Amino acid sequence: MVSNNKRGFTLVELLVVIAIIAILMGILMPALNRVKKQAQATTCLSNLKQIGLAAELYAEDFERSIPRGTSGSSPIWFVQFLPYLGHKSSTGDYRTVKIYRCKSFPRTGNGLYNIPNSRQTVCYVINDWTFSSKNDQTGSSIGKPTKLSVFKRPAYTIYLADNEAGTWRPVIEDQYSREINRCDIFDTGHLPSSNSTNITRGRRIARERHRNGCNVLFLDWHSEWVGADDMTVDMWRDK
């Protein structure tokens, strides 16, 4: 005679299993989030490095000059670099270039004019700062291309940095966005240590995009992380 003593889990046993799973998830999720953020930061550094290679190729074709700001007479850098990133010419759609976007850029919340930040197509801001002398701590916007030979310390001078996200920061949907001229750096208020949220003079460089700082591309075309409190005016100096 076959015994039929099989039984399922009791309610108490199921609750214990669910509780154990919940505890394990609570332990693992922070670690997984840290790994995810680290991977995104590494991808961002790689993006900047690739943009740096494009900038170097561009300079070779334009008498060792590079674009600076996003206003004035300087050509828009992310459009001009298209031929050096696999496009036939600079007339293509730059929005297909994935390396112009940082995966850590916020995908929730609203930017200027209530446009979702997920529609941000360029996640970096460019060095447009020029100085009259070594002692000049204020500087101004240059608004035109600059020869690489002008920069005396390229390995210590920033060219691109993570763009800040906030209600005072514009969302650039395409190269014709009317606030595109607010994606360059030429003022101390733009630095990550600034608390200003003024649309013109407020913070433009991400303060906490990657840990307590941001990723940057230097003019010798290497990329690295810089702490928000460690970034200084001198790291943007062209003289």
**Binned average pLDDT, 10 residues per bin, the chain of 239 residues:** 61 80 80 80 96 98 94 83 89 89 77 55 96 93 94 97 94 89 96 96 96 97 97 94
- pTM value is 0.84
Q: What are phi and psi of 130, to 5 degrees?
A: -130, 150
pLDDT on residue 112? 44
Residue 115's pLDDT is: 44
Residue whose pair of structure tokens reads 């002692």 in the numeric block: 135
- How many angstroms separate the CA atoms of 223 and 46, rounded? 8
Question: Across the strands, what pairs with 110?
Answer: 116
Q: Which residues of 5-44 are buried (b: 16+ CB within 10 A; e: fewer)?
A: eeeeeeeeeeeeeeeeeeeeeeeeeeeeeeeeeeebbebb
